[in-house]
Amino acid sequence: MRKDKKRTAQNATYIKAYKDALKKLKKGTGDMQKMVSNFYSIVDRAMKKNVIHKNKANRLKSKVRRLSKK
């Protein structure tokens, strides 16, 4: 029980990072290729730390790939 608050806070930072990156991508301002690459690395890092499931990571990346093609 002692570590759960610390881990919850760390997990929240990973979740916030990919959600913020997704919002920036949806706005579509700036260098799209660079933002997509950055988003992929953030999602992969969250997946590696077991914050999100690998299938969710793949769904998010697929969603971004569809957004970037528009």
Task: Report whether 57 contacts 47 (CB < 8 A).
Answer: yes
Give the per-residue pLDDT at 67: 86
pLDDT digit string, tens, across residues 17-34: 999 999 999 988 788 899
60 or 28, which is more confident: 60
For the chain, the average pLDDT equals 92
Question: Which residues, in sequence order, are CB contacts of 17 under 8 Å at separation 6+?
Answer: 42, 46
Alpha-carbon distances of 3 from 9, 12, 14, 46, rounded to whole Å: 10, 14, 17, 19
52: confidence class by pLDDT, cuts 50, 70, 90: very high
Give the per-residue pLDDT at 1: 64
